[in-house]
Amino acid sequence: MNTHSKLMGGLFILALIPTAIWATQAKIQATNNSEDGGISVISQSVFSQSQPDFSWIYVQQDGEMTIGAGHSDDWEQLERQGNPYHADYLWVKTAGTPYVITDPAIVAQIKTAIMPMQQQGEKMQAIGEQLQQKGNAINSQTQQLLLNVTTDKEDPKIQAEIDSLSASMDVLDQQMNELSKVHESLSNTAEKQIASLAQAAIKAGTALKTP
pTM: 0.63
Q: Which of 36-50, 77-91, 125-139, 162-176 has the lowest mean pLDDT?
A: 36-50
Residue 58 scores a pLDDT above 70: yes
C-alpha pair distances (Å), 192 with each of 16, 19, 134: 37, 33, 37
Confidence band for 11, pLDDT divided at 50, 70 and 90: very low
pLDDT of 88 reads 94
Q: How does pLDDT run across 138-193, given as a tens digit for each residue?
A: 777 777 777 666 665 666 777 777 778 778 878 888 888 888 888 888 888 888 89
What's the pLDDT score for residue 1? 47
Strand order in the sheet with 89-94: 65-69, 54-59, 89-94, 97-101, 208-209
Split at pLDDT 50, 70, 90, the class of 13 is very low
Choose among 187, 203, 188, 197: nearest CA to 89: 197
87 pLDDT tier (thresholds 50, 70, 90): very high
The pLDDT, as a whole number, for residue 199 is: 92
40 vs 65: CA distance, rounded Å? 7
Determine how many CB atoms are found less than 10 A away from the CB of residue 76: 12
